């Protein structure tokens, strides 16, 4: 009985050490895929429960890609069950704003306009393109890690990223021409 409790404690400690530091990245991915703060929190909670349940099958040391793969799969399950929800994401300024040293009014206005245009362009992407962009550009994962998380070939990752970047470029150019 004592050995079973110690094993459970070891599992919890190892889980906390390997997985828990990546909750911010998990939330970020879930937020962009579901489009809503509360839905993202629910998805991350469900993903963490799944991750803990199957933690005995985790034999690596890199918890981030493993957790993000679970979050991704949980998001897609959630999206399938809740098709009535939009597949685009809005942006929470308080959560995602990055402070800058140059916070004069003009720079702040330009940065706000740039952020708005980029957020809008990201929201226009199909979810599979948005997913690889978030994993690569915001989470800094390698192509190989993204391929593993998304369950797609490396070439598909590169193709989706290229298409996503081209769509972003087109959307941003169009938006700037309109303004």
Residues 58, 96, single domain; the answer is no
Please compute Rg for the chain using Cα positions. Answer: 19
- Domain span at residue 161 reads 92-178
**86 vs 43, 132, 157, CA distance in Å?**
15, 19, 24
Grouping H, G, I as helix, E, B as strand and the rest as coil, residue 54 is coil
Instruction: Please identify, among 83, 110, 137, the residue that sits at the C-terminal boundary of a domain.
Output: 83
- pLDDT value at residue 29: 92
Question: Which ranges of the chain have pLDDT less than 70?
Answer: 1-8, 83-114, 179
- pLDDT value at residue 49: 94
Residues 172, 123, single domain; the answer is yes
**92 vs 79, 111, 149, CA distance in Å?**
20, 15, 25
- pLDDT value at residue 85: 46
63 and 24 Cβ atoms separated by less than 8 Å: no
Alpha-helical segments (H) within the chain: 2-18, 23-34, 37-53, 63-81, 93-96, 105-124, 127-133, 143-150, 154-178
CATH number of residue 28's parent domain? 1.10.1740.10
Claim: this prediction has a pTM higher than 0.95: no
Residues 69, 97, single domain; the answer is no
- pLDDT value at residue 107: 53
Residues 96, 77, single domain; the answer is no
- pLDDT value at residue 100: 41
- pLDDT value at residue 10: 85
């Amino acid at each position: 009985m004592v050995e079973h409790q110690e094993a459970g404690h070891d599992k919890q400690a190892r889980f906390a050490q390997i997985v828990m530091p990546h909750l911010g990245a998990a939330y970020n991915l879930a937020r962009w895929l579901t489009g809503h703060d509360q839905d993202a929190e629910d998805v991350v909670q469900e993903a963490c429960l799944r991750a803990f349940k199957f933690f005995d099958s985790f034999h690596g040391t890199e918890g981030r890609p493993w957790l993000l793969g679970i979050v991704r799969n949980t998001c897609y399950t959630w999206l399938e069950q809740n098709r009535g929800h939009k597949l685009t994401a809005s942006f929470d300024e308080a959560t995602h704003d990055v402070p800058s040293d140059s916070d004069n009014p003009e720079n702040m206005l330009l940065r706000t306009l740039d952020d708005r245009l980029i957020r809008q362009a990201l929201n226009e992407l199909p979810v599979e393109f948005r997913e690889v962009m978030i994993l690569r550009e915001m989470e800094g994962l390698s192509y190989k890690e993204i391929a593993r998380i998304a369950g797609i070939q490396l070439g598909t990752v590169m193709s989706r990223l290229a298409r996503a970047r081209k769509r972003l470029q087109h959307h941003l150019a169009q938006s700037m021409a309109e303004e």
